[in-house]
């Protein structure tokens, strides 16, 4: 067949490219918010209710320097990642079974409709009975919070894979686990990725909430415990510093990990619009 020629592209001017990007607008909004906080807190003049931004940042700084906050954050993240990985692994097994058999399909549908609406934190009393106070209980509730939304998203994604693409895969003789791993998973990746995102957000919330509930009696607590103890000692600036850390870690994961994952996968593959 005759060769098809490649199209030629011209680069847009530098200034236009810089203004097209979104980050600078975000920084302006963030700056305005910080200014409003600082001014309102000064006007209110009640450090117990609302510390100034400056006081919060200095509390954050000293907690970071003393090594307490990084340790707490690390404890939280370690539990979080363990629970998250476990939840995603169980979700992968369930959805693979659901994709390959009618029974698995029905089982997954039933389980997700039963357990997805159940808040993970409501299982904490049961978890405490079964596993006692400590990391296993935390992991149990995190797995619950991750498993169902991720399984639901994966399965929805599998169902949305075009029949032609499925046939193209089966045409190569693919079946079973390999068909799921090499055709269904990448084809459903946009939905899986958004499921992983939602799962991450749920897990993070569940963890902080769980730490607030029984962090008091755990030997070494995470950020939730840091917030709880700071409140008990009426160090409101430290409470805010803890909340700020929760937000920053959330932003970091969303902005760095998930965004780059989106860029190098589904965006590159043309499965979502940029």
Partner 1 sequence: MNVAPRLTGLVGDTALPSLLELDHVSISYPTPDGILTAVEDVSFSIAAGERLVLLGPSGCGKSTLLRAVGGFLKPSAGEIRMNGRRIGAPGPDRMTVFQEFDQLLPWRTVLGNVRYALERGKSMPRRDAEAIARRWLERVGLKNFVDAFPHTLSGGMKQRVAIARAFALEPALLLMDEPFAALDALTRRQMQDELLKLCEETGNTALFVTHGIDEAIRVGTRILALTPHPGRLAATFDVPPDTRARGSSGFGELERRIQETVFSAPEIDHV
Residues near partner 1 (CB under 8 A): 1-6, 162, 164-165, 167-168, 170-175, 182-183, 186-187, 189, 265, 268-271
Q: Is 270 left (phi over 0), alpha (psi -120 to 50) or beta?
A: left
Q: Determine if residue 220 is left, alpha or beta; phi over 0 gives left, psi from -120 to 50 gives alpha, anything else beta.
A: beta
Report the 10 Å Cβ neighbour count for 16: 9
Token pair in block for residue 45: 């003049």
The CA distances from residue 21 to 15, 29, 68, 197, 273, in Å, are 10, 15, 37, 23, 16
Closest Cα to residue 81, out of 249, 227, 219?
A: 249
CB of 174 to partner 1, least distance (A): 6
- Give CA–CA dist 242/213, Å, rounded: 16
CB of 2 to partner 1, least distance (A): 5
Residues 199, 87 contacting (CB under 8 angstroms): yes
Q: Please, what is the minimum distance in Å from the beta carbon of residue 274 to partner 1?
A: 12
At 142, list the tokens.
């995190």
The radius of gyration of the chain from alpha carbons, rounded to an integer in Å, stands at 23
**Residue number with CB closer to partner 1 (13 or 162):** 162
Closer by beta carbon to partner 1, 98 or else 266: 266
- Count other C-beta atoms under 10 Å from residue 110's C-beta: 10
Q: Which is nearer to partner 1, 208 or 266 (CB)?
A: 266
Q: Which is nearer to partner 1, 9 or 15 (CB)?
A: 9
Give the residue with the Cβ less far from partner 1, 140 or 179: 179
Instruction: Tell the smallest beta-carbon distance from residue 273 to partner 1 (Å).
Output: 10
Residue 267: CB atoms within 10 A of its CB come to: 15
Q: Closest separation between CB of residue 110 and partner 1, Å?
A: 25
Least Cβ distance, residue 11 to partner 1 (angstroms): 18
- By beta-carbon proximity to partner 1, the closer residue of 94 and 187 is 187
């Amino acid at each position: 067949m005759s060769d098809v020629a490649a199209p030629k592209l011209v680069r847009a001017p530098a200034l236009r490219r810089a203004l097209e990007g979104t980050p600078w607008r975000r920084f302006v909004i963030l700056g305005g918010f910080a200014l409003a906080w600082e001014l309102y807190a000064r006007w209110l003049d009640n450090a117990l209710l609302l510390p100034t931004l400056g006081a919060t940042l200095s509390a954050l700084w000293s907690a970071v320097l003393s090594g307490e906050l990084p340790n707490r954050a690390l404890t939280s993240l370690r539990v979080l990642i363990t629970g998250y990985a476990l939840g995603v692994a169980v979700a992968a097994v369930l959805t693979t079974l659901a994709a390959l058999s009618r029974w698995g399909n029905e089982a997954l549908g039933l389980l997700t409709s039963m357990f997805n609406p159940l808040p993970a934190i409501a299982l904490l009393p049961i978890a405490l009975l079964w596993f006692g106070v400590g990391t296993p209980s935390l992991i149990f509730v995190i797995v619950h919070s991750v498993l169902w939304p991720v399984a639901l998203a994966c399965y929805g994604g599998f169902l949305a894979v075009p029949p032609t693409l499925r046939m193209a895969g089966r045409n190569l003789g693919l079946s079973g686990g390999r068909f799921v791993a090499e055709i269904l998973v990448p084809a459903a990746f946009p939905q899986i990725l958004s499921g992983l995102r939602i799962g991450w957000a749920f897990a993070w919330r569940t963890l902080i909430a769980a730490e607030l509930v029984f962090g008091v009696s755990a030997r070494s607590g995470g950020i939730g415990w840091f917030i709880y103890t700071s409140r008990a000692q009426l160090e409101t600036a430290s409470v805010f510093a803890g909340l700020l850390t929760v937000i920053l870690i959330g932003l970091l994961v969303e902005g760095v990990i998930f965004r780059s994952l989106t860029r190098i996968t589904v965006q590159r593959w043309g499965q979502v619009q940029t």
